[in-house]
Amino acid sequence: MIQEERVIREFMELVRIDSETRYERQIADTLAAKFAELGLTAKEDDSAARTGHGAGNLIVTWAAEGAENAPKLLFTSHMDTVVPGRGIQPTLHEDGWITSDGTTILGADDKAGLAALFEGIRVIRENGIPHGQIQFVITAGEESGLMGARALSGDLLDADFGFALDSNGELGAIAVAAPTQVKIHMEITGRSAHAGVNPEDGISAIQVAGKAIARMKLGRIDKETTANIGSFAGGGPTNIVCDHVELVAEARSIVQEKVDAQVASMREALETTAREYGAEGKFRGELLYPAFCFNDRDDIVQLASRAIGSLGLTPRTFHSGGGSDANIFNGLGVPTLNLAVGYENIHTTKERVRAADIVKTAELVVALVQEAARGQVLKGDGRLPQ
């Protein structure tokens, strides 16, 4: 049913459109036009006014046809890319891999997902495949910290299960868990003095920061929790006791209570040390996105596993160490998994994807829709019939 030449041609077209994060206007307009060609209306939300990005999120709702009682599905991919992503020249090699010319990224993250979604829609239409209601949410600003999804209103969503097509790894892999992340900003203000004449009158913010960091447990905290300091800025001439430094850090965990505890311990280390040395310590933590965690028995995982198995692939669940739009959709009340698309070396000029994997991802979109329609009616407890 999938037309390989068509889906690969569309992928090549999409990656040639410049869409570095914050500059999504052209790709958003192109995607909206493609949905219109398929008889679907893409509505753009007002998030661009809040995020400063070139476009808002696109939301498309496709009414049920022939399977009105099927669970409502949501598919999501993002429209933006990382840099360097201007002037991408893709090449399909004889071995089946698609790459850029090596001067830019390829943009398979996440235009492989976008191409697969459009092909899936065409195949469902062309073959009259019964389906329940399907929403497509194409986000802007994913690569700049999930900005588009974070600005999305949950009132726009209407789905029982969601699937993000935005994970690296071999097809069949299912990210069933991903951590929450707290971004941490720390400031230490000491007192300046001449470093050679009267250093004892000064309070070195650098020294206080170093002592505070030494009290913090960082790196791998446990199998579900990590913490890291990413930048340490401040200072000046060596003859002046430094009176101000700023640190930027993060903490992550799949378990909310654990990340809360980690953030609290880092705050305590900073504030206690600052008091001991007579400095001022400021600590601010910002929740960027919530965690999610499913197990193999959950119905959304069972649905995905059956669809993957129907394609002759082996479903494999794993816990991701990074966040994605799937975190946001889970936080907005739509149980969402992140599915592997097969691309490799993302965010580098060596990024690549197999043409066959884009085709297979399109097949997976159709299989997920068919599997959901096969269940038809949700049980009273929100589970799919077996």
Asked if residue 362 is part of any domain, the answer here is: yes
Query: Which residues sit in the known binding site?
Result: 347
Q: Look up the pTM and report it.
A: 0.91
CATH, residue 246: 3.30.70.360
Distance CA 348, CA 325 (A): 20
Distance CA 359, CA 308 (A): 13
Asked if residue 384 is part of any domain, the answer here is: no
Asked if residue 201 is part of any domain, the answer here is: yes
Per-residue confidence (pLDDT) for residue 380, from 0 to 100? 40
Which residue among the candidates 80, 110, 143, 160 is catalytic per the annotation? 80
CATH, residue 63: 3.40.630.10
Residue finishing a domain among 268, 289, 310: 289
- Domain assignment of residue 84, given as a range: 4-178+291-375
For residues 241 and 299, membership in a common domain is answered with no
Query: Which residues sit in the known binding site for Zn(2+)?
Result: 347
For residues 297 and 159, membership in a common domain is answered with yes
For residues 116 and 198, membership in a common domain is answered with no
Residue finishing a domain among 289, 320, 349: 289
- Residue 142 annotated in active site: yes
Average pLDDT along the chain, 386 residues, taken 10 residues at a time: 96 98 98 98 98 98 96 98 98 98 98 98 98 98 97 98 96 97 98 98 98 98 97 97 98 97 98 98 97 96 97 97 96 98 97 98 98 68 49
Per-residue confidence (pLDDT) for residue 375, from 0 to 100? 76
Specify the 3-state DSSP secondary structure of 181: strand
For residues 136 and 35, membership in a common domain is answered with yes
Task: Spell 15-27 as b/e; 16+ CB within 10 A means b.
Answer: bebbbbbbbbeeb
What count of other Cβ atoms lies within 10 Å of the Cβ of residue 199?
Answer: 13
Residue finishing a domain among 255, 289, 323: 289
For residues 157 and 306, membership in a common domain is answered with yes
Per-residue confidence (pLDDT) for residue 377, from 0 to 100? 43
For residues 53 and 154, membership in a common domain is answered with yes
Indicate the burial class of 125 (C-beta count within 10 angstroms; 0-12, 13-18, 19 or more). middle
Asked if residue 315 is part of any domain, the answer here is: yes
- Residue 80 annotated in active site: yes
Which residue among the candidates 10, 45, 109, 142 is catalytic per the annotation? 142
Per-residue confidence (pLDDT) for residue 378, from 0 to 100? 47
Per-residue confidence (pLDDT) for residue 379, from 0 to 100? 42
DSSP bridge partners of 139: 78
Contacts of 384 (CB under 8 A, 6+ apart): 71, 299, 302, 303, 372, 375, 378
For residues 95 and 222, membership in a common domain is answered with no
Output the six-digit token pair for 93: 């090699």
For residues 111 and 163, membership in a common domain is answered with yes
Per-residue confidence (pLDDT) for residue 381, from 0 to 100? 44
For residues 272 and 243, membership in a common domain is answered with yes
Per-residue confidence (pLDDT) for residue 376, from 0 to 100? 53
For residues 271 and 353, membership in a common domain is answered with no
For residues 284 and 304, membership in a common domain is answered with no
Contacts of 184 (CB under 8 A, 6+ apart): 247, 248, 249, 250, 251, 263, 266, 283, 284, 285, 286
